[in-house]
């Protein structure tokens, strides 16, 4: 099925993976259909050499993942309006197939309610998809596509009308849970989110805790996520469940200390504007298999 939708791509980089970035850009250039316009954002660092025709932006400081991606969105006009959809890809990823961009165009054109597509992430050597990369509770079968309630930040496509309607990613978050914040706002506005297993980004298997700020940011942003988006009665339930889950995972003493520090910070610092979701959105999330308390 032919599609006239125009696609762009946003990649943020710290400049420390030039070979992986070049491989990713090559995989984008090989996509079927009309060329995908690409913007590479140097997030507080110079952008490595890139092929001719790739636009680059170098930020004087690291704005974090959501801040860097928001700059990339605006490079395509306010809210990304110069294109119909944007792919967001980690700079050490690689599009596995030549038809991914075209499949995204066709999916958005076929389903006017579809706002966001989450790709399947697979290890390039083993082909294994980690459970945490399947954005639903029943994650045992990564090959099953389905409607979902969140998406993977470094392997997705977003219809730019979503940004025009609900805004971009939350700059304040810097790292962790910014995708769920956007997902909840999009769902509250009536958009749907799909996990599509046939759209694959190769990415080396890693642990999120490799980032030094992981435990603090995860806890702080979890509180911010609830304070920004949930109806008041659900906030203590949601955060209580995640507190219990964290303790059951038996993190190290240092990790737990960082987590509680972030949890406290989430309550004592500004989380940005509060726009609680409608109760009908709570019901929609529940019907999709993930009520906003887990």
Q: Give the number of domains in the chain.
A: 2
Other CB atoms within 10 Å distance of the CB of residue 280? 10
The model carries a pTM of 0.96
Query: Is residue 11 in a domain?
Result: yes
pLDDT tens, 21-54? 999 999 999 999 999 999 999 999 999 999 999 9
pLDDT bracket for residue 209 (50, 70, 90)? low
We report the CATH number of the domain holding residue 182 as: 3.90.550.10
Based on the domain organization, do 53 and 148 belong to the same domain?
A: yes
Based on the domain organization, do 267 and 236 belong to the same domain?
A: yes
Residues 289 and 138: beta-carbon distance below 8 Å: yes
Query: Is residue 284 in a domain?
Result: no
Based on the domain organization, do 119 and 255 belong to the same domain?
A: no
pLDDT bracket for residue 2 (50, 70, 90)? low
Closest to 256 (Cα-Cα) out of 294, 224, 292, 209: 209
Final residue in a domain of this structure, among 157, 172, 202 = 202
Based on the domain organization, do 154 and 92 belong to the same domain?
A: yes
Query: Is residue 198 in a domain?
Result: yes
Across 49-62, b (16+ Cβ under 10 Å) vs e yields: ebeeebebbebeeb
pLDDT tens, 64-94? 999 999 999 999 999 999 999 999 999 999 9
Based on the domain organization, do 186 and 94 belong to the same domain?
A: yes
Question: Which residues constitute the domain of residue 260?
Answer: 212-274
Query: Is residue 12 in a domain?
Result: yes
pLDDT bracket for residue 182 (50, 70, 90)? very high
Query: Is residue 280 in a domain?
Result: no
Judged against a pLDDT cut of 80, whether residue 212 lies above it is answered with: no
Q: Residue 173: phi, psi to the nearest 5?
A: -70, -30
């Amino acid at each position: 099925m032919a599609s006239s939708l125009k696609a762009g791509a946003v990649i943020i980089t710290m400049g420390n993976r030039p070979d992986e970035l070049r491989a990713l850009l090559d995989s984008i250039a090989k996509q079927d259909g009309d060329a995908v316009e690409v913007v590479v954002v140097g997030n507080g660092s110079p952008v490595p050499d890139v092929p001719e025709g790739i636009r680059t932006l170098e930020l004087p400081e690291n704005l974090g993942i959501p801040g860097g991606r928001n700059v990339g969105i605006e490079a395509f006009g306010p809210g990304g309006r110069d294109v119909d959809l944007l792919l967001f890809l980690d700079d050490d990823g690689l599009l596995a197939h030549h038809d991914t961009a075209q499949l995204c165009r066709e999916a958005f054109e076929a389903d006017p309610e579809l706002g966001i597509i989450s790709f399947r992430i697979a290890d390039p050597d083993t082909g294994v998809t980690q459970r945490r990369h399947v954005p639903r509770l029943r994650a045992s079968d990564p090959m099953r596509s389905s409607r979902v309630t969140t998406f993977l930040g470094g392997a997705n496509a977003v219809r730019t009308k979503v940004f025009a309607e609900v805004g971009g990613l939350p700059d304040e978050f810097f790292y962790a849970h910014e995708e769920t914040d956007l997902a909840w706002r999009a769902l509250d506005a009536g958009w749907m989110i799909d996990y599509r297993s046939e759209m694959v980004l190769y990415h080396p298997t890693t642990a999120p805790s490799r980032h030094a700020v992981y435990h603090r940011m995860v806890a702080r942003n979890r509180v911010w996520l609830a304070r920004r988006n949930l109806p008041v009665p659900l906030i203590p339930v949601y955060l209580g469940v995640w507190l219990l889950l964290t303790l059951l995972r038996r993190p190290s003493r240092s990790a737990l200390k960082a987590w509680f520090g972030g949890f406290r910070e989430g309550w004592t610092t500004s989380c940005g504007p509060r726009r609680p979701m409608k109760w009908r959105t709570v019901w929609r999330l529940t019907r999709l298999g993930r009520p906003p308390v887990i």
